[in-house]
A and B are shown apart, each in its own frame.
Chain A
């Protein structure tokens, strides 16, 4: 009988410092038992509970992509007890991962549609997972145009900079990278907050475009009116919510927003769904 609380043991295979202030690191994990990797079959937008014995568990969006095999990756901000502990762990250390959990972005519903990703700060992890999935030759033609508006405080705070530059050079994805400010004279991308850059660069919706928005609350607050102006219906705006979680499987009761549980019924919701529920997130 499966115990849904029992984490799969994983080994830290690589640690990449992602930001200039070293608050963000990407951890690549390899399953100790390769069979567990098959069981951990996920879609972009899902999350997992990372489990450190004696410290606790944290819910984190999966940053690796289903098309990447042999490892899973999470980009983690050092913020609380578990993340701080994790930031001090090293390659080779053993910990646990429980998942995949929650609902992914609605890949089946979005088939054949244009996609707009809007991300801010370090909330770009599951968006990275999505873009890598979409750009895979097996998947690219199943979807329409892809636009990505992604911004952070400064160039050094952008996640996955090398990949962003690679995507920038491609002709099957429209990248709109921005930073709040920079004094780098060689910065050749946008300067400005995400909402105005989105207003300027993002495609209008003719009802055939889905917008997936992940970022800090303040960015989301100012981005939603922009999307409305661009013609996006509330059921075509997709958000990924966060709440304090423990079980991750819809049982322990704490992440509820109305009758929905963010861990199990979400974390992915349309704005239309969120509008009908208490804003307790």
Chain B
């Protein structure tokens, strides 16, 4: 793998240069201590001081609200009541500073949106337009348990490029051809020397060591779905839950969505909006019957999906990358690591 070195004094110029070929998206602080990924205005740089953004970067390929179609209900129009795909641009975009576990989450979510039977064009087109320029986690947060979910602070599995902040300079692992194109576009071409590569290895080792929070889920895969489903602990796990849905909104691997039509007089659009299994409306039937009509059932659904159903369906680990966002954001301190432990061990 090609490893480059970028002096931090050259970083801004290179970033600006790559704007000729890419829209730049990166982490920024917004009001109320909320940080997220969004398109960077001209001259604006990604804020690398943010360790884990409040909102995951899933919105880059899966916006909270997205127009699927537009339509008119004007009977004078020949297109009356016919759905039209809106003009969308999927020009190349570079996601600067995505954390390795968040990029790994993209690979997991891809299994849902890009299947042998159906391809969600909104998610897939946006995803394919992305070049993921990751930023290694050198100072993990206390809730980070990414090393035990199959990713980790320096994981390159979802990345095209990995940046490592080595103080005066960035070390740059060029992972894919896409990554190499971005590096060229930014004009970064100084090869790292042997000494710097040594620094990279030791930083990687050091970062992994700093992550002490872990989960184990192998036993969950061996247990019967209905045995786990009927466990008594769901009562105590779900007791404090407010069904606020925050965990699902901040999660990089939660992908559930709703489809809703919005219209203003005779013009309208069909929207794809984030939804959450925490909400009663998610499953309620027209008759009023709701198959998940209690909080317990909804909380159980979230954890069973993440830790059991996904594992048994794909046999590729759990639907969680260990970013720790749901642990940090939960207003009542429900901790997926504790739930996982209960499911795995009891």
Contact = CB atoms under 8 A, between A and B. Distances in A.
Nearest to A217: B289
A61 B74 CA distance: 29
Interface string A248-269: 0111111111110000100000
A39 B268 CA distance: 27
Contacts of A6: 69, 83, 85
Contact of B305 (A4, A55, A80, A256): A256
Contacts of A224: none
Contact of B118 (A52, A80, A96, A250): A250
Contact of A259 (B69, B292, B313): B313
B284 A244 contact: yes
A56 B261 contact: yes
Interface in B113-127: 113, 115, 117-121
Interface residues of B, number: 50
B73 A252 contact: no
B283 A280 contact: yes
Contacts, number: 128
A4 to B, nearest CB: 5
A126 B174 CA distance: 55
Interface in B256-290: 256-261, 263, 268, 270, 275, 277, 282-287
B116 to A, nearest CB: 11
Contact of B225 (A53, A253, A258): A258
Contacts of A277: 225-226
B313 A79 contact: no
Interface string A229-247: 0000000000000111011
**Which one of A9, A246, A264 has the highest number of Cβ atoms from chain B below 10 Å of its Cβ?**
A246
Nearest to B262: A54
Given A3-B121, A94-B81, A243-B283, A53 B71 contact: yes
Contacts of A280: 283, 291-292, 297, 301
Interface in B292-337: 292, 297, 301, 304-305, 308-310, 312-313
Nearest to A278: B229
Given A54-B268, A251-B113, A276 B226 contact: yes
B257 A276 contact: no
A242 B259 contact: no
B120 A94 contact: no
Contacts of A249: 117-118
Contacts of A200: none
A51 interface: yes
Contact of B259 (A3, A52, A56, A255): A56
18 contacts: A3-B85, A7-B83, A55-B261, A94-B80, A251-B255, A251-B257, A253-B112, A253-B255, A253-B257, A253-B275, A254-B256, A255-B283, A256-B305, A258-B304, A258-B309, A259-B225, A280-B301, A281-B291
3 interchain residue pairs of minimum CB distance: A253-B256, A80-B286, A259-B309
